[in-house]
């Protein structure tokens, strides 16, 4: 029982880390490709 909980916790942490990594990657690609239109820089 305890091993299952540990494994489930590792899966959840891994999924969250991968999600953050993918978000950062796509955010970087978006900034590189669009340049002028990306989240977080609304002027005006």
Q: Give Cα 21 to chain centroid, integer Å.
A: 4
At residue 40, does pLDDT exceed 70?
Answer: no
Q: What is the pLDDT of residue 37?
A: 62
Distance between CA atoms of residues 37 and 27, nearest Å: 11
pLDDT in tens, 2-14: 888 999 999 999 9
Distance between CA atoms of residues 36 and 31, nearest Å: 8
At residue 1, does pLDDT exceed 90?
Answer: no
Tally of CB atoms within 10 A around 28: 11
pLDDT in tens, 10-37: 999 999 999 999 999 998 888 888 766 6
Distance between CA atoms of residues 30 and 13, nearest Å: 26
pTM beyond cutoff 0.75: no
DSSP alpha helices (H): ranges in the chain? 2-34
């Amino acid at each position: 029982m305890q091993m299952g909980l540990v494994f489930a916790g590792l899966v959840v942490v891994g999924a969250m880390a991968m999600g953050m990594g993918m978000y950062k990657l796509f955010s970087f690609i978006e900034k590189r490709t669009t340049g002028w239109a990306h989240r977080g820089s609304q002027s005006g």
